[in-house]
């Protein structure tokens, strides 16, 4: 059975047939996923806003109490587990119809309204908690219940990692089609590696300036005012004003506080960019924290993304920020497009230097405003250690490593000391330039970085480098393109380390690599040896996994 939570992200999963239910009756709903999901409750469904049952299946209703929700219906639900994007999963009794609710946490009994209905699952908006969830703790952040960033702050950390591990296991079994009853497979999924720091772990945060401040409870009244903070969940144009974010460093919070104290002051003449009218100056405030390599102290980059280049407007604010000792760089990216991106067409240094330093596994990296870099440095150190262990390089300097989706080259460069040669492949030209610079700066001479789109490779891919002994693949959330899967099945590398930030697409790709792709007439040739979930982002639904595959 394919889980609905996974279906939400995997289009190839088929919809399940379920029947409709009569309106206006008490409906038994129970929780989903685990074997002990027998918490049946009666609910008094409010069907005032729904119209007519599904006529195709309504006739069977009097005999069958099965349930098919309607948009607008209010239900009493109990959440048992966390699924895709950290949404709480509930399930209708009898039909197994899945209902997903943002911010519902396991054990929580709540009233929710069906906001969206698909053929295989429905989404529910939580209206009111009736009984709180298990493993409840007090959220330390005042914005926790409204901010889109940390959705699980009020769930104990032990429970957070337990549900993440369970989600990976469910996806590997149901989407990846690995049989957990097979003793060979049972040991493959390892316990999740927790993150030692659950707050202040992010080295980069991006806040938005907005003309439309989001005040959660009066949201519908259209109250308008300026804001600097995080986008309200589901809104491109509304911003939750925040003075402090517990995910970023203390030094970054000092900068945020200074900007907040000053930018709305009319004497500065600053205006937020309006996502509707496209008028206004300030778009984003990006704060990056690195470490000074000589004294180990934090060093900070502040990057203002603006719609035009007017340094005179920013100058008074820059002067105030520059008095914060940790600030070593103030940048200005100018982005004239109407989109939401923070990468500028031009970049200017307003104060100090144009990059900061970060250390990872003993190497030092220069990070500019737009460089990609792992956002949780300490846990990236742990992640890369696991990758290195999985890569299992002999260290005799003879092996070829292919680092696919290499970004700024960090994984490949940390492996280079034990490899014969590393070949990195990446689409973004600037990342390739950064990777080459990083290699030079760390005196690494056995690494070659090649720019190219791995979704567009053809049969000649692989001619630029010798046959790899170890392949690292670290794609973005959509996972690997079928063209790349075909290459990996053709090249038959002895070891493949798949690093993923989306366990759903990861499970799909592992299925292709190990079991083959029927529709493409391809046989699998790898054996799954280990899946190691790593918690890189506490208090959020994100899950990283390192998977080791060996040639079968």
Ligand X SMILES: C[S@@+](CC[C@H](N)C(=O)[O-])C[C@H]1O[C@@H](n2cnc3c(N)ncnc32)[C@H](O)[C@@H]1O
CA–CA separation, 162 and 535 (whole Å): 11
- Binding-site string for ligand X from residue 495 to residue 534, where x marks contact by CB under 6 A and - marks none: ------x---------------------------------
Strand, helix or coil at 162?
helix
Ligand-binding site membership of 374 (annotated): yes
Q: Taking CB under 6 A as the criterion, which residues in 433-472 touch ligand X?
A: 453-455
Query: Is 434 annotated for ligand binding?
Result: no
Beta bridge partners of residue 240, listed in sequence order:
230
Q: Are 43 and 27 in contact (CB under 8 A)?
A: yes
Q: Is 220 exposed, middle or buried (0-12, 13-18, 19+ CB in 10 A)?
A: exposed
**Tokens 């990342």 belong to residue:** 431
Nearest Cα neighbor of 496 from 517, 475, 526 is 526
Q: Which of 170, 299, 474, 511 lies at the binding interface for ligand X (CB under 6 A)?
A: 474
CB under 6 A: which stretch of 61-69, 118-126, 307-315, 400-408 binds ligand X?
Answer: 400-408
Per-residue binding letters, 354-393, with ligand X (x by CB under 6 A): ------------------x-x-------------------
Query: Measured between alpha carbons, how far is 165 from 193 in angstroms, rounded to an integer?
Result: 9
Helix/strand/coil for 526: strand
Residue 255 or residue 387: which is nearer to ligand X going by CB? 387
Q: How many Å apart are CA 229 and CA 236, to the nearest integer?
A: 12
Which residue in 427, 482, 491, 514 binds ligand X (CB under 6 A)? 427
Nearest approach, Cβ of residue 406 and ligand X (Å) = 5
**Number of residues engaging ligand X in binding (CB under 6 A):** 18
Segment contacting ligand X by CB under 6 A, of 128-136, 169-177, 239-247, 402-410:
402-410
Shortest spacing between CB 264 and ligand X, in angstroms = 35
Q: Is 167 an interacting residue with respect to ligand X (CB under 6 A)?
A: no
476 touches ligand X (CB under 6 A): yes
**Is 474 one of the annotated binding-site residues?**
yes
Instruction: State how far the Cα of 513 lies from the Cα of 522, in Å rounded to an integer.
Output: 9
Question: Minimal distance in Å, beta carbon 183 to ligand X?
Answer: 33
Active site residue 501: yes
Query: Please, what is the end-to-end C-alpha distance for the chain in angstroms?
Result: 26
Residues counted in the chain: 552
**HSE (side-chain half, CA atoms, 13 Å) at 491:** 25
CA distance 256 to 249: 11
C-beta of 155: minimal distance to ligand X in Å?
26
- Point out which residues bind ligand X (CB under 6 A): 372, 374, 405-407, 410-411, 426-428, 431, 453-455, 474-476, 501
Positions at the binding site for S-adenosyl-L-methionine: 374, 405, 426, 474
Q: Indicate which residues carry an active-site annotation.
A: 501
């Amino acid at each position: 059975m394919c889980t609905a939570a996974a279906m939400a992200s995997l289009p190839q999963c088929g919809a399940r047939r379920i029947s409709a239910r009569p309106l206006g009756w008490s409906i038994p709903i129970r929780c989903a996923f685990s074997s002990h999901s027998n918490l049946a409750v009666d609910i008094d469904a409010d069907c005032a806003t729904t119209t007519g049952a599904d006529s195709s299946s309504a006739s069977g209703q009097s005999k069958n109490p099965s349930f098919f929700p309607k948009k607008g219906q209010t239900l009493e639900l109990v959440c048992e587990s966390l699924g895709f994007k950290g949404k709480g999963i509930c399930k209708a009794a009898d039909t197994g119809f899945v209902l997903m609710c943002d911010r519902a946490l396991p054990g929580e009994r709540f009233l929710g309204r069906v906001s969206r209905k698909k053929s295989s699952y429905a989404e529910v908006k939580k209206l009111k908690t009736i009984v709180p969830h298990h493993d409840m703790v007090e959220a330390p952040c005042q914005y926790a219940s409204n901010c889109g960033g940390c959705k699980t702050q009020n769930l104990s950390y032990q429970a957070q990692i337990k549900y993440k591990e369970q989600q990976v296991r469910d996806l590997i079994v149901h989407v990846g089609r690995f049989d957990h009853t097979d003793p060979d497979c049972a040991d493959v999924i390892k316990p999740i590696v927790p993150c030692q720091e659950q707050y202040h772990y992010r080295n980069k945060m991006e806040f938005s300036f907005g003309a439309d401040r989001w005040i959660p409870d009066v949201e519908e009244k259209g109250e308008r005012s300026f804001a600097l903070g995080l986008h309200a969940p589901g809104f491109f144009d509304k911003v939750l004003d925040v003075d402090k974010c517990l995910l970023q460093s203390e030094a970054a919070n000092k900068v945020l506080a200074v900007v907040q104290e000053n930018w709305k002051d009319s004497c500065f003449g600053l205006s937020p960019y309006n996502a509707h009218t496209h008028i206004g100056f300030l778009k984003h405030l990006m704060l990056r924290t690195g470490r000074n390599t000589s004294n180990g102290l934090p060093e900070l980059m502040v990057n203002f993304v603006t719609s035009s280049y007017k340094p005179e407007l920013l100058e008074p604010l820059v002067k105030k920020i520059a008095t914060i000792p940790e600030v070593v760089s103030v940048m200005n990216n100018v982005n004239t497009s109407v989109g939401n991106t923070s990468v500028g067409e031009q970049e200017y240094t307003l104060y100090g230097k144009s990059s900061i330093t970060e250390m990872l596994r003993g190497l030092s990296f220069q990070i500019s405003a737009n460089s990609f870099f792992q956002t949780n440095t300490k846990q990236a150190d742990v992640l890369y250690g696991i990758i290195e262990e999985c890569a299992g390089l002999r260290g005799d300097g003879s092996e070829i490593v292919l680092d696919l989706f290499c970004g700024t080259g960090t994984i490949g460069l940390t492996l280079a000391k034990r490899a014969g040669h590393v070949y990195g492949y990446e689409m973004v030209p600037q990342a390739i330039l950064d990777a080459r610079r990083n290699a030079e700066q760390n005196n690494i001479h056995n690494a070659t970085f090649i720019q190219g789109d791995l979704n567009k490779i053809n049969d000649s891919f692989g001619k630029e480098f010798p046959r790899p002994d170890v392949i690292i693949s670290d794609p973005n959330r959509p996972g690997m393109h079928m063209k790349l899967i075909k290459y990996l099945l053709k090249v038959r590398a002895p070891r493949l380390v798949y690093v993923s930030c989306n366990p759903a697409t990861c499970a799909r790709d592992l299925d292709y690599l190990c079991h083959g792709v029927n529709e493409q007439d391809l046989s699998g040739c790898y054996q799954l040896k280990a899946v190691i979930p790593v918690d890189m982002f506490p208090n959020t639904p994100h899950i990283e996994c390192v998977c080791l595959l060996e040639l079968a």
